[in-house]
Chain A
Amino acid sequence: MNTLELDVDDRAIVNRLQDGLPLVPHPYASVAAELGLSEAELIERLVRLRDTGVLSRFGPMYHAERLGGGLTLAALVVPEADYERVAEILDGFPEVAHNYRREHQLNMWFVLATETAERIPEVVAELEAATGLAVFNMPKEREFHVRLHLAV
């Protein structure tokens, strides 16, 4: 299923539910009523959207730091000849949640997520030891906005 196969009700559901489910006893019935659908139809469509990968997830978005965890964005300057080797090393670290190649001198960008905030500097040191490269650690100093909304 690609975007073109989303009908008008699917689009309304994706747009509406990026804004959040109300915390009421029957939340899907409540959203279904807003959209002019039955509860059963909304749930059936949501299951399909999730199972076909249009939605990567449906559920609570947790605030990692407020759960006591550590979270940071970091980058490496990886020589091209070493790129695959370093990517494999990072792949082996469970604390590396996402890793992307980006086109810049800093060419490998990753998110570290740890059980405790104290673990971040330890994992940074472990990554530096394992790769032989300096980690550019860029933890957020201020958060201005976190709200992904992609209109369809």
Chain B
Amino acid sequence: MSDFIWPSEEGGSKRLDAQDRAIVLATQAGLPLVSDPWGAVGEQVNMSGEEVLARMQAMLERGVIRRIAAVPNHYRLGYVANGMTVWDVADVDVERLGREIAAIEGVSHCYQRPRHRPHWPYNLFAMLHGRTREDVERQAQVLRACLGEACHGHRILYSSRILKKTGLRLATANPQTASTETDAQG
């Protein structure tokens, strides 16, 4: 997996200069679908296309941009069962096992999060997506087998209603939050 990001690494790349910020603002709703998208963004932010491309490459290398990609609408592609699986995993094993289950096909997001006992004993979260709940349950069985004796319990929480989904776009002069990849928490 190339997407491991450890807490200790966070915060090292927070400082974006004014040009980077302008690019983030200009692209947070999406990248233009034209032959030269970098030039099209450049026109909006008074930079050459070459400079936009170089800055976006640098932001990609620093992990400020995860990637430039198509984000499918789960439901429109038939993935109507979106299960947040949550696992109570022994603290000493959670780092190793988190890495292992994150590598299993079908896991889109995987995080360690704090428990809130007694209401919430689960410390490992993995999002699964299927065309049916049975698909999700089959995938969850694979995760369960991988976690073995270190797992003391688990649940699958399906989203039964979308109450709000605005995305993470903030059109402000200080674009510190933008479209990010928390979408599949749904």
Q: Could you tell me which A residues sit within 8 Å of B by CB distance?
A: 1-3, 13-14, 17-21, 23, 25-29, 39, 43, 46-47, 49-50, 53-71, 73, 75, 77, 87, 90-91, 94, 96-106, 108-111, 113-116, 136-150, 152
> A142 near B7 (CB under 8 angstroms)?
yes
C-alpha gap A26/B163 in the complex (Å) = 40
Interface string of B1-18 (1 = CB under 8 A from A): 101111100110111100
> B177 near A67 (CB under 8 angstroms)?
yes
> A25 near B53 (CB under 8 angstroms)?
yes
Inter-chain contacts of A25 with B (CB < 8 A) = 36, 38, 49, 53
> A71 near B182 (CB under 8 angstroms)?
yes
Interface size counted on chain B using CB atoms at 8 A: 96
Assess whether B19 is interfacial by the CB under 8 Å rule: no
The residue of chain A having its C-beta at the shortest distance from the C-beta of B12 within the complex is A66
> A87 near B163 (CB under 8 angstroms)?
yes
> B34 near A142 (CB under 8 angstroms)?
no
Inter-chain contacts of A67 with B (CB < 8 A) = 14, 16, 24, 64, 175-178
> A60 near B56 (CB under 8 angstroms)?
yes
Inter-chain contacts of A75 with B (CB < 8 A) = 120
Partner of B108, one of A49, A60, A138, A149: A149
Looking at the assembled complex, report how far the CB atom of A114 sits from the nearest CB atom of chain B, in whole angstroms.
7
Q: List 15 A-B contacts (CB under 8 A).
A: A47-B33, A53-B73, A58-B30, A68-B14, A69-B176, A73-B125, A87-B163, A98-B165, A98-B185, A115-B176, A142-B98, A144-B1, A144-B98, A146-B181, A149-B108
Which 3 pairs, one residue from A and one from B, show the smallest C-beta to C-beta distance? A145-B102, A144-B102, A69-B177
Partner of A26, one of B15, B36, B98, B165: B36
